[in-house]
Each structure stands twice: as C-alpha cells, then as structure tokens.
Amino acid sequence: MHVVITGASRGLGRFLARGLGPKSEKLHLIYHEDDEKMRETVEGISAPYDVFKCDISQEPEVAHVFQQIPEIDVLINNAGFNEDALLENMGIDSWKKVIDVNLTGAFLCSKYAVPKMTKFGSQIINISSVVAQTGSVGAVNYAASKAGLEGLTRSLGRELIRKGIFVNAIALGFFDVGMGTRLPMKIKEKVLAQILLKEFGDPVELLKLIEYLIGQRYMVGQVICLNGGYRI
C-alpha cells in the first residue's frame, strides 16, 4: 500500500505517518517548511518512505512531487493552516493563504494523485474540521476553507467513484495533538465545556477510523464527524 500524507512534519500528520507506516509498502510524506520537524517525524518510521518539501498551494510544485511517485493507493489531505483574526482585522493575504493551503492544496494534490490511482478501492481521505459545520468567531477563513473541503469531498465522491476511487472526509473536533495543543487555556476550557465526553480526542481514534476507511468499499462522498459530541 502506497500512502501519501500531506502536512506530515508534525501534529496529526506525524502521528498518521508513524501509525500507518507498519501497514504500508511505502510512505510518501509531504511537508512545507520545518525541516527539523520533518526529521523528527521520520525518526519514528520503520517503513520505507520518501519525503518531499512542497508548497501544496502552488501547482507547479505539486505536479513535480507527484511526478516522482509511481503509484498511490491512499491520499490523506491532512495539511492545514490557520491565521485567525476578526473579520474587520483580517487582511486579504490571511484569507487567501488559509484558503490556498487548506482547500486549493487538497484540490491540487487530489488532481495529481488520481492518475496514479489505478487500483479499484483507492482512497482519498480529506481531513476537515467541526468548525466547517459550527463556524468559529475569528476564523472565518479557516471555517470557510474546511466547508469548501467538505463540498469538494462530496463532488469528488460522485466524480471519482467511476474510477473505483472512494473519496470521504473526516470532520475533526479538538484533539490532544496539532492545533488543539496550541489553543490558549481559556479557549480550551470553553471547548471542553461543550464536548459531551469532556476531554480532547485521542489521535488513536483518528488512526483507527482511517484504517477502516482504507479497507471499506461502500462509503462514498461522506463527511464523518469525530468530535466527542462537540457537535451532534
């Protein structure tokens, strides 16, 4: 199984790379900036892998990376970026950068991965967020990018199933890794009060869900919520 993971240098991307490694024939890991974080990621991987430094919002860079990957069974569009501000304080650059990474990046990676997906049952798994469904004060760019990602998922689900490619998304709540660890304490307390299970998610739950999706053959174009009851 050849697995491509974007945003693999830290957070959930790192966790997924290490978790899926033992079950993969080869991992293809894409990251953007932090070379040291990427080196730390691969230290915990036992499977064969290659690493690509790439700005996934730039089509020439994405095309160059995917030219070097001979076959793909699973693409996990995990890369995510936030740059929060209230609407009146948000510059157009902040709006565009978040949309470009979170939405355009997933579009471009999917576009160039599909020609390499020749087996029936190949999977594209998009990592969305609960804020696509709830909205978020001070993060209109992030919420909009993830809502767009869910629309992309549904449309590609319809389009690509004819090729035997299954497309689904996972809308994550708040987890003890990645962006969840960078929240201010006051925000964490407010979030925890709204989660029915009263705790942040364990990334193992995400890994188990992805492993299930990789093996399934009947779920198409769905957005699966994994949020501990933050939104039901």
Q: Which residue has the tokens 């890991």?
A: 29
Q: Please give the CATH number for the structural domain made up of 2-226.
A: 3.40.50.720
pTM of the model: 0.95
Kindly provide the b/e burial profile for residues 11-24, where b requires at least 16 CB atoms within 10 angstroms of the residue's own CB.
bbbbbbbbbbbeeb
Residue 55 has pLDDT above 90, yes or no: yes
Residue among 49, 142, 212, 230 flagged as catalytic: 142
Q: What is the pLDDT of residue 87?
A: 96
CA dist 49 to 5, 41, 105, 127, 188, Å? 11, 11, 21, 21, 35
Least confident of 38-42, 43-47, 110-114, 150-154: 43-47
Q: What is the pLDDT of residue 172?
A: 97
Q: Is 31 one of the annotated active-site residues of the chain?
A: no
- Domain ranges in the chain are 2-226
Residue type, 200: F
Q: What is the pLDDT of residue 185?
A: 80
* Helix or strand (DSSP H, E) at 127: strand 122-129
Residue 182 has pLDDT above 80, yes or no: no
Q: What is the pLDDT of residue 184?
A: 74
- For 100-147, the pLDDT digits (tens) are 999 999 999 999 999 999 999 999 999 999 999 999 999 999 999 999
- For 187-204, the pLDDT digits (tens) are 888 889 999 999 999 999
Q: For residue 145, which of 96, 92, 179 has the smallest C-alpha distance? A: 96
Taking all residues of the chain, what is their mean pLDDT, rounded to a whole number?
Answer: 95
- CA atoms of 229 and 232, how far apart (whole Å): 6
